[in-house]
Chain A
Amino acid sequence: MDAKTFREIFTTFAKVGMLTFGGGYAMLPLLQKDVIEGKGWATEEEVMDYYAISQCQPGMMFVTISSYIGYNRFGTMGAVAATAGVVTPSVVIIMILAAFLREFLTYPLVEQAFAAVRIAAAALVISAVVKLVKKGVKDIPALVLCVVGFLLCAFGVIGVVPLILLSAVDGILLHTPQRRAAKAEEVGK
């Protein structure tokens, strides 16, 4: 990989890291805007798949999601560039705060700004979900899976990993016969 591509991946993910408030899922609106629509480095479906796999493995979702996307188009160095990009703003901001502004959070202006930014982060995540559902949930079984996933997760009925395994099995049970039937029909013609 040439230095220019590395820089491009790094800065794109640095922007995502700098503007994400509140966990790996809060990256999604920024990924949609900059990485999926802006650069075309992954599709919406691929990013969903990466979220599913990331849920089931240890480690920070910021790093795992960025690595998957970086690897997807650019291989190992892409994963390194994306990860370095997504963590660098954090490291720099915290260094500055730790070195010079330890009382940072107690300034009223900062507190007020952050309180409102958290509200914006919530609105951005909800809008990202609206986008996902509009694009990805096209039939009744998908809608059922989506609603069940939401309810089980929102009320903490089962853990995330069992939920993901269950929906994968569901996908196989629902879609495999459909696919086979479509294929049989094609062969019949």
Chain B
Amino acid sequence: MSIYLLLFWEFFKIGMFAVGGAMSALPFIYDLAEKYNWYSVADATNMIAISESTPGPITINLASYVGYTVGGFPGSLIASLGVTLPPLILTVCICKFLQKYRKNPVVEDAFYGLRPAIAGMIAAIGLELIDISVLTNAGATVFERISWPSALLFAGLLAVILKFKKHPVLYIAVAAGLGIVFKF
């Protein structure tokens, strides 16, 4: 089979079966390394590191990176397309189905309960993001692990974000600049 077809198919499967966030796609990436000898396991680790730090969906970053490694620019496009199609198709199908029930009062009540719970869950994700960005030192307790310059930057940024409500790009750019100036 042509390598492009194979790439498309492998990433289509990842798009279809990787349930529960980008972390669930990682084992697939290691599997591919062993199955096809397209790249080494060390390459996979490096690709994952880059995919996690660049912006955008990690799974797309991975697909694009693996695709490029295997088949250059066309490989990159094809793997990305493969991994994107399943959730896109599934979501459009769900939308068509949801339209029928959207105005059902019981469904509305269910969503009434869901919204605050989701807000709470997003808060928990925020805590996780704080964990990986601010609690960066080694140690057992929170106080040992906290990086004080990072905590200061976090608190300062949060205060100005809440007060001025400017576009997020501004805060991201300011943070990047401060990161370089103060050597984070």
Contact = CB atoms under 8 A, between A and B. Distances in A.
A33 interface: yes
Contact of B113 (A57, A76, A169): A169
A83 B84 contact: yes
Given A121-B129, A146-B117, A169 B51 contact: no
Contact of B50 (A33, A97, A142): A97
Interface in A57-108: 57-64, 67-68, 71-72, 76, 79-80, 83, 86-87, 89-91, 93-95, 97-99, 104-105, 108
Interface in A156-189: 160, 163-164, 166-176, 179
Q: Interface size for chain A: under 10, 10 to 19, 20 to 34, or 35 or more residues?
A: 35 or more
A90 B56 contact: yes
B1 interface: no
Contacts of B92: 67, 71, 76, 79
Contacts of B16: 58-59
A163 B113 CA distance: 11
A6 interface: no
B175 interface: yes
A120 B175 contact: yes
Contacts of B139: none
Interface string B53-81: 11111111100110011000100110010
A127 interface: yes
A60 B117 contact: no
Contact of A116 (B19, B84, B153): B153
Contacts of A145: 113, 116-117, 120
Interface string A34-51: 100000000001001101
A76 B19 CA distance: 23
A189 B51 CA distance: 61
Contacts of B134: 119, 122
Interface residues of B, number: 88
Nearest to A114: B53
A90 B132 CA distance: 22
B179 A114 contact: yes
B148 interface: no
Interface stretch (B2-10, B26-34, B102-110): B102-110
A68 B91 contact: yes
Nearest to A71: B95
Interface in A6-57: 17-26, 28-30, 33-34, 45, 48-49, 51-53, 55, 57
Given A48-B114, A167-B118, 18 more contacts: A19-B55, A24-B57, A48-B118, A51-B118, A57-B94, A94-B76, A112-B180, A114-B179, A120-B171, A123-B157, A123-B161, A133-B123, A136-B115, A149-B124, A169-B113, A170-B117, A171-B113, A174-B109
17 contacts: A17-B57, A48-B114, A79-B95, A98-B65, A108-B183, A116-B176, A122-B129, A122-B133, A124-B161, A127-B162, A128-B122, A150-B123, A153-B125, A168-B114, A171-B111, A172-B106, A174-B113
Interface of B: 15-22, 49-51, 53-61, 64-65, 68-69, 73, 76-77, 80, 83-84, 86-88, 90-92, 94-95, 98, 105-106, 108-127, 129-130, 132-134, 136, 150, 153-154, 157-158, 161-162, 167-169, 171-172, 174-180, 183-184
